[in-house]
Amino acid sequence: MRTDDFDFDLPVELIAQNPVVPRDSSRLMLLNRKTGKIGHRRFFDLPDILQEGDVLVLNDTKVIPARLYGTIPEVGPGRVEVLLLNESVEGFQRVMAKPGKKFQVGYEVVFDDFLSADVVEVEADGCRLLQFNSSTSELIKHLDRIGHTPLPPYIKSSTASREQYQTVYAREQGSSAAPTAGLHFTEKVLEDLIAKEIRVEHVTLHVGRGTFQDVKVKHLKEHQMHSESFELSVAAAERINRAKQNGSRIVAVGTTSVRVLESCTNSNGRLVPQVSRTNIFIYPGYRWKIVDGLITNFHLPKSSLVMLVSSFVGRDVVFKAYEEAITKRYRFFSFGDAMFIS
């Protein structure tokens, strides 16, 4: 398939700049995989929509304030920006840097009186390797002190707090972007799910370039995903396997949870617990192994995320749903509304 097959026109005013308050009041489109039927609810209705015995799988990664601003004295006083990708290479940190032409090997990037880094390598794809003047644990403390929430570039005028770009169940620190399908959940929704005997399980995938990188090739088979680290525990794998064997639906919350589950499922359809990295690229033609339902946001044109969703339900069905979402003025992308595909 061609990348252009996943392009669509989106009115710019539908790109959500801020989250709704409360977060579970976002809209929720219901899409039936078999019939293509579309319904419309609110996210706080989710416990009434799911079935008793369903298993929701959440990505419990926690976003770090991974964006830093500083200066490079060798090139003048202008501000520069780096985004940490949570990719350590032989003790160096891989980052995306702007403006890239200022980040030359040997230059020092000064963030404040306590944190600085040397540029040690310029990689072929434009990323830089930086050597910080602090250990990894110290760097995390500096990020908490002076780092900024790494909001996506299409969010131009947000007043969102750090907490609003974080799921309420986030606990494993390491992401450069939020698993946005989980942003709609509140403690009340989670309590109502458990009261209805809907099981909630957690996996961890630290979101990096693999999730948000652009697809720049003409044909999908030529696209290479960057790998991202993940963990599926023994206990969670055993419980999900048991539920699947007993006929329960496995509902992934977000494309990152999908990537963990599908990466860990063997040829017999059983999850294998592991701590690893995945560069799985799911697009139409992929044979799904374990996921039965998907809660997700509305995604960027020509992104690997809209390709994944199209693989799950079919491209034409997805684009029909997106057309209706645009007509009904749904909010798109990270702070936007949600869709439940069953």
pLDDT in tens, 288-301: 999 999 999 999 99
72 closest CA partner among 104, 114, 113, 120: 104
| Res 87: pLDDT | 85
pLDDT at residue 210 greater than cutoff 70: no
Task: Please identify which residue in the block is written with the tokens 């002076």.
Answer: 146
| Cis preceding-peptide flag for 284 (omega within 30 of 0) | no
Report the chain's mean pLDDT, rounded to a whole number: 96
| Res 242: pLDDT | 98
Q: If you average pLDDT over residues 109-138, what whole number do you get?
A: 96
How many residues are given for the chain?
Answer: 342
Query: CB of 128 within 8 A of CB of 97?
Result: yes
Q: If you average pLDDT over residues 278-292, what whole number do you get?
A: 97
How does strand 27-31 pair with strand 338-341?
A: parallel
Percent of the chain with pLDDT over 90: 94
How does strand 67-72 pair with strand 61-63?
A: unpaired
Q: How far apart are CA 277 and CA 322, in angstroms?
A: 31
Q: How many CB atoms lie within 10 A of CB 110?
A: 14
Q: How far apart are CA 229 and CA 207, in angstroms?
A: 8
pLDDT at residue 340 greater than cutoff 80: yes
Environment class of 106 (CB within 10 Å of its CB; exposed 0-12, middle 13-18, buried 19+): exposed
| Res 243: pLDDT | 98
pLDDT at residue 114 greater than cutoff 80: yes
pLDDT in tens, 33-55: 999 999 999 999 999 999 999 99
| Res 36: pLDDT | 95
pLDDT in tens, 4-28: 999 999 999 999 999 999 999 999 9
1 closest CA partner among 318, 266, 249: 318
Structural domains of the chain, ranges and CATH numbers in brackets:
3-63+161-341 (3.40.1780.10), 67-146 (2.40.10.240)
Say which residue, 87 or 281, is predicted with more confidence: 281
| Res 214: pLDDT | 83
186 closest CA partner among 163, 168, 160: 168
Percent of the chain with pLDDT over 70: 100
Q: If you average pLDDT over residues 256-271, what whole number do you get?
A: 97
Q: Model's pTM, two decimal places?
A: 0.94
- Count of alpha carbons within 13 Å of 326, Cβ hemisphere only? 14
pLDDT in tens, 74-110: 999 999 999 999 888 888 999 999 999 999 999 999 9
Residue type, 35: T
Which pLDDT band, with edges at 50, 70 and 90, does 208 fall under? confident
Which pLDDT band, with edges at 50, 70 and 90, does 188 fall under? very high
pLDDT at residue 209 greater than cutoff 90: no
Q: If you average pLDDT over residues 197-225, what whole number do you get?
A: 91
